[in-house]
Amino acid sequence: MMIDFVPDPGLYPFTSRWFDSSAGRVHYVDEGSGPPIVFCHGSPTWSFLYRHVVKGLRDRYRCIAVDHLGFGLSERPAGFGYTIAEQAAVLGELIDHLRLDGFLLMGQDWGGPIGLRATTARADRVRGVVLGNTAFWPIEPPANRAFSAIMSTRPMQRRILEKNLLVEKLLLGRTGPALTAAEADHYRLVQPTKEARRGLAVMPREIRAARPLLEELAREVPARLGDKPALAVWGMRDVVFRPEACLPRLRSSFTELSVVELHRAKHFIQEDAPDRIVDAIARRFP
């Protein structure tokens, strides 16, 4: 199924583009010119999350922001599993389709492992890496694993599918970023039905189910991308990917890592501190 929602051009002033991957039709934006940078969102967001960052960088970079299948305006294809491995394979197809070379990758939340999985296989074409509040290693903290277990139960899966729980409570709830009503609707209305939310329901399970992939990434990222210029833009108030646990792991994985601490930002850093992110990327990758 496809999503009928049409973004407000005042909030999302980009031309929609489409790629027919082997698994389904992918929506993305491709704005500006210059060195390419691929933006990967996590759950329960879509490329709308990067709107301020794209607007701030498209005068000097070619900004490509993708909606993973099951998210945003992309298709919800029958038979697709919505796993991290499957999403990464589709992203790799898009990168190859666009013939990107010398590109930057930015990933946040699940966009980190999705993007890194796609780029480790294309390391010779990667210019650098930008990561924000994510992990590419097995997720061990008890709170994260408890969240996965609870959200994977039948009652909570039903609430995700029927009540849009992850959007309404985690993104748009009181601990989420400050958004206008119109901005909130852009997150809410791209997940309009139970059938549209199947990808959302898979993501909490992947915290545990994707362990083999994350173990592989924990080895491959330092080996294949560890010598690339890297930037971490980190929301220091995030309780999902806590800086005291994650930043030392990043420093041990990349030999040329710069860290920008976003002291007032929580998990959704692109909403909380877009101007700081724009400035950090422009300074790190002039």
Catalytic residues: 109, 238, 267
Report helix, strand or coil for 178: coil
Helices (H) and strands (E) in the chain, counts: 12, 8
Residues 6+ apart with CB under 8 A from 139: 145, 148, 207, 208, 214
* Cα gap 250→259, rounded to integer Å: 9
Residues 6+ apart with CB under 8 A from 218: 136, 137, 138
Query: Residues 5-20, buried b or exposed e (16+ Cβ, 10 A)?
Result: eebeeeebebeeeebe
**CB contact at 8 A, 110 and 267:** no
Tokens of 14: 């980009």
* Cα gap 127→226, rounded to integer Å: 12
Tokens of 108: 């946040």
Residues 6+ apart with CB under 8 A from 8: 182, 186
* Cα gap 259→32, rounded to integer Å: 26
